[in-house]
Amino acid sequence: MQMTMRWFGTGYDSVTLQNIRQIPGVQGVITTLYGKQPGEVWSREEISGLKKTVEDSGLSIAGIESVNIHDSIKTGSPERNAYIANYCTTLENLGQAGINMVCYNFMAVFDWTRSDLAKRRPDGAAVMAYDQAIIDKIDPHDISSAMNAQSNGYALPGWEPERLEKLKELFALYSNIGEDKLFAHLQYFLEAIMPVCEKYGIKMAIHPDDPAWSVFGLPRIMTGKETLLRLLKLVDHPLNGVALCTGSLGTNPRNDIPSIIRAISGERIHFVHLRNLRHNGPGDFEEAAHLSSDGSLDMYEIVKALYDSGFDGPIRPDHGRTIWGEASMPGYGLYDRALGIAYILGLWEAVEKGAKFQ
């Protein structure tokens, strides 16, 4: 296991590489070319510039989150082959730079969605939250401005204003796309990129849908054990794998995460996002500190299942609470994620030593 932290790049993040380097146990960063629009080619120069910045700070790039997928690929429109060719060029350029883990998602229109980016807890901490009853009252055309209005001035991952400006057209593109079609388009995409992945050993890690159900009537397919396993079987290649995100899968209390980990197995889990959340009621949850005792997920059992399954890739803490007066992108401050890292590393050490003494 390699402990990592997400870093959005110079100018996009309140957290510095120096901050990250000082967190004990962190070896790498998960980063991206944040200014890139889905579908754009990442050039070799841009990638080597990013790599140099990270390596000059004494860290390394453990993987990319995300190379986002153009909507024409998700909807199977006539231009998809041109965008797949662009994606392959980006993978080729990443592969040549020695980067071999790429996280992506196949969510329709909206990436992760929340109804509140700064819900106050009694201790004064702020967390992100989702309440279906609130979302049901929001016009989808207003959700992007609602999310961006609460972002503390930071660009939120997956919520590119340039793309979402054309929301009407996007909704029209998806109007006849059901779950089976979305699955078929995902299969088509993965089959097309596997040769370049093979050439460089690039592990593709699909991020589950967050929350793990349909939002605004749009199809969602990466929602639990059955659909994740369906995808792994559909393109049965070791490089086609999963970014196991406990906070996304955990939105549905019926998702038993340790059992999902065991079913997928460590070889097809290419990346892990660890975080906890609290269920307040059906379709109503809020994020929590990483500790098991603060939320509804048993983080010890999750870490144990990862260890037992032979998982050996990068882990990063996911959304943290906003604490100690920090000003950052919601969910991506330094303090609570650093606390999360110390906790996860403690769990991992205990599980690992426990296994050796058995």
Q: Phi/psi of residue 46, each to 5°?
A: -65, -40
**Quick check: is 279 catalytic?**
no
Q: Does 185 bind ligand DNO (CB under 6 A)?
A: no
**C-alpha distance from residue 348 to each of 10, 60, 145, 228, 355 (Å):** 31, 21, 40, 25, 11
Sole binder of ligand DNO in the list 207, 268, 290, 337 (CB under 6 A): 207
Shortest reach from residue 357's CB to ligand DNO, in Å: 36
Q: Peptide bond preceding 66: is omega within 30 degrees of 0, i.e. cis?
A: yes
Q: Does 105 bind ligand DNO (CB under 6 A)?
A: yes
Q: At what angle do helices 225-234 and 257-264 cross, to 10 degrees?
A: 10
Shortest reach from residue 355's CB to ligand DNO, in Å: 30
Decide whether 105 or 144 has the Cβ nearer to ligand DNO.
105
Decide whether 157 or 219 has the Cβ nearer to ligand DNO.
157
Give the residue nearest to ligand DNO (CB).
66
Sole binder of ligand DNO in the list 17, 103, 173, 288 (CB under 6 A): 103
What's the distance, CA 342 to chain centroid? 20
Q: Does 111 bind ligand DNO (CB under 6 A)?
A: yes
Q: Phi/psi of residue 278, each to 5°?
A: -115, 130
Which residue intervals of 136-218 are DSSP H helices?
140-149, 161-164, 167-173, 179-200
Binders in 37-96 for ligand DNO, by CB under 6 A? 65-66
**Quick check: is 103 catalytic?**
no
Interface with ligand DNO: number of residues (CB under 6 A): 11
Which of the following is catalytic: 245, 270, 290, 307? 245
Q: How far apart are CA 302 and CA 261, in angstroms?
A: 8
**Quick check: is 332 catalytic?**
yes
Q: Does 163 bind ligand DNO (CB under 6 A)?
A: no
**296: helix, coil or strand?**
coil
Which of the following is catalytic: 185, 332, 336, 343? 332
Decide whether 114 or 268 has the Cβ nearer to ligand DNO.
114
Q: How many alpha carbons fall within 13 Å on the CB side of residue 156?
A: 25
Q: Phi/psi of residue 209, each to 5°?
A: -70, 145
Question: Active-site residue numbers?
Answer: 207, 245, 273, 318-319, 332
